[in-house]
Structure 1
Amino acid sequence: MSSLPAANNVNQDEQEIEIIQHHPIHHHESSEHPLNQEEEDDESHRSYGNSGVMMGNRLNNRSSEFEKKPLLMNSDSSQPSDQTITSPLAGIGNKVTQLSVDSQNFFDKLEDKRVSMSPLDSLYDSKFGFIVLKGAKYCMRIFGLFMVMVAVVLLSLNFYFYFAVTLPMMNTQMWTYTFHLLLGLYIALSISFNYVQCVRVSPGVTPKEWVDSLDNVETFRNDTKSVPGKNWSKWCGRCQQPKPIRAHHCHICDVCVLRMDHHCPWLNNCVGLQNHKYFVGFIGFLALAALYNFVMISLGVFGFYTPDPILYATWSGWLTFVMVLSGSLGLTMTTFTGWHVYLVLTNQTTIEFQFNKMKAVRSKSGGSDNPYNIGMKSNIQQVYGLATPEDSVLGWAKLLMLPNLQKSPVDGINYPTNQPKGGENV
């Protein structure tokens, strides 16, 4: 016969479990100042965490009292058994307490704006994730250097083939040869200049002077949205400083890039405010060079002009391959150039285009929601600089087709918008 104290204890624990199962997690008493939705959610999280901790402690206390009581094997025995009954509450209290503490800590961090919803940022919280991401970042930088060397080799081979094979093989008159020579030099120099500038020029990062000039920097942690009318959007959890509007953090360069478009491994650099025009110029002239080489080789292969017999016989095995490769590259880069020309004309970046389309879909409106589209002319000038002389064909030709060392007229902090005057970033 089992002892009555043990049986009564089990019944009490079962009643305790039933009571806890029906215990309300949180309850808001009526007050004169009702909480708004955000404050109510925060209060609910705190109440949930505190209630969980109290329930866990209560379960642990009941379990300890239960296990301290000995088990009498029968009513006739005067000596208690050395065995004890394991409470059904054992372990549950610890789990409830730990779960509640973890939940409470998470919401405390979330309220402090130090928790980022980015999957990459969340990996930095663990030591293993930090090591993996740091290693991946350095690997990408090394890979970027390798890609730059590959690009230089490929461009050099392309230039060599044109000037050493395609141009001499045309076997044309002197003036025609001179025209194609000068055109080839112009394209080659334009490609080289823009590529070097893409690699060399910083896309623009958050100015230290701007951060130092701000008052109450800690209040920037409370902002999570990019709103026209403000010269900042939110706090960067990786840089631990305010992030200017239209800026994004690059996890490879490990900086916040102004008006960031994307990180390009072929450049080992980000494309942003100060080097976007060089990137557009590079891919544009590269597309022109590939299509031009394709046309010149095709005219000789298909008999539109009589090629030099010696060069044609020497390079006949390569001509078809280079022709197909140039045509494919030309079509690809033309499409890519067209896309970036569209972004420049509408004053968007690749990242912003995706966000603008999502906002338009959510608002069920046609087109895209882009507050920075201030007109084609002004949009181009934000990327390329000011044409001199202004509003002349010569000025715009110099701005777009010749080497351009002008910086963007915007500072990367303030951007004019198409919103009413009260909503401009000034």
Structure 2
Amino acid sequence: MNRLCDLIDQKIDDGTFVPVVDAANSTMRQLGKFLVLFVYFISTFLAFTSFFIIIPYEQIYKPAWLLVILGICGFYFLLNIQYHYYKARTIPPVACPGEEGDAFCEKCNYWKSDRAHHCSVCDKCVLGMDHHCIWINQCVGSHNHRHFFLFVANLTLAAATIITAGYPSFSDHLFIETSPNTYCTTILENAPLQDIICDYDGFARTAVVFCYLLSGILFVMVGGLTLWNVYLISIGCTYIDYLKLTGSKKKLSARKRLNKGLKANWKNFLGLRRNRTFFRCVILPTALPPVKYESLNSRPDAFDVV
């Protein structure tokens, strides 16, 4: 095993694996372009099924006022998901933000600050890098981290709403043989596309079942990612910080420098500075310029960067 490890280290040092690594990174970039289109397709499908099949069908089980609330919430989630996803994938994080005397990146041939990390896929150093996300086809770091978090948080809430409110629709269309009603066998008053949708045999049933199951998968996977981000934000870390600053007492001490307290960490991350309100920064889909953490003791700190 030691010989194998030594051989691998030797091949890495002499550049043998460089073509393989370059090919893998290129593949990830190309795959990322496809996945961006896939995200738009899936979100459009979920929205179409929710607004034009599930909500109209739920009038059998729910009062009109509740359906109106569900429609408003659905539109709000859709707006936030699309907006924050667009911002997360189009706003580039800060690259190569170092000054002479900082750590030196041999790949970029440039200085990098303490909280910059080199991404081999993007081929640049990224300030405040959390991770490279193939679903937005770029790194999550300073400038776009807030949008990425709000995207996954709103997606989780939207999936939870579909799971909670759409169960009767899912049950009726999954067990269609024993169900007294389905979308295409019931006369629905507020279903403007019912005739068109029901012209395609089996589409309504497939759409409802697939939409519900996909929402369950998203709730578990994206919800887990959201909770992990909540934890990291609460302790003032990115994922890269968490990995780099785990282990020795010195590293744990450096991590403590990042943690300004729960409230201050969240205010810093969400940009709640300079008279910005929670309603404007979080509830409304708003783009904000990145801000540096305003230290309570006014001492500059290279770790205090959003």
Please classify the TM superposition score into its range, dividing by the shorter chain length: 0.7 to 0.9
Q: Which has the higher contact order (CA 8 A, sep 6+)?
A: 2
Report SS of the residue matched to 2:118: strand
CA distance in 1, matches of 2:222, 2:170: 23
Q: Post-superposition shift, 1:258? A: 0.2
The equivalent residue for 2:217 is 328
The equivalent residue for 1:257 is 126
How big is each residue's C-alpha offset from its partner over 1:403-423, in whole Å with a ceiling of 9 and x where there is no partner? Answer: 12112211xxxx6779x9888
CA distance in 2, matches of 1:286, 1:148: 15
* Equivalent residue runs for 1:17-416 within 5 Å: 123=12, 125-126=14-15, 128-171=16-59, 172-207=62-97, 211=99, 217=100, 220=101, 232=102, 234-301=103-170, 309-310=183-184, 315-360=204-249, 369-387=255-273, 389=275, 395-410=277-292
More deviation in 373-382 or 310-319?
A: 310-319
Q: Post-superposition shift, 1:359? A: 2.7
Q: Mind listing any 5+ residue stretches in structure 2 that lack a counterpart?
A: 1-7, 173-179, 187-197
Q: Post-superposition shift, 1:158? A: 1.1
Give the total of aligned pairs: 272
Report SS of the residue matched to 1:371: helix
How big is each residue's C-alpha offset from its partner over 1:367-408, in whole Å with a ceiling of 9 and x where there is no partner? Answer: 994311112232123322125746xxxx22332222121122
CA distance in 1, matches of 2:9, 2:272: 39
Relative distance call for 1:388 and 1:401 in structure 2 (3 A) is: farther
The equivalent residue for 1:89 is none
1:384–1:407 CA contact under 8 A, matched in 2: no
1:300–1:307 CA contact under 8 A, matched in 2: no
Equivalent residue letter for 1:183? C
Relative distance call for 1:338 and 1:243 in structure 2 (3 A) is: same
Give the alignment's Cα RMSD to 1 decimal: 3.2
CA distance in 1, matches of 2:168, 2:290: 42
2:49–2:207 CA contact under 8 A, matched in 1: no
CA distance in 2, matches of 1:423, 1:120: 39
How big is each residue's C-alpha offset from its partner over 1:265-289, in whole Å with a ceiling of 9 and x where there is no partner? Answer: 0110100011111111111111111
Q: Post-superposition shift, 1:122? A: 7.7
CA distance in 2, matches of 1:307, 1:356: 57
CA distance in 2, matches of 1:205, 1:121: 30
CA distance in 2, matches of 1:271, 1:359: 26
TM-score for the superposition, normalised by structure 2 = 0.77
Relative distance call for 1:158 and 1:301 in structure 2 (3 A) is: closer
TM-score for the superposition, normalised by structure 1 = 0.57
* Percentage of pairs with the same residue: 26
Report SS of the residue matched to 2:246: helix
Q: Mind listing any 5+ residue stretches in structure 1 that lack a counterpart?
A: 1-118, 212-216, 221-231
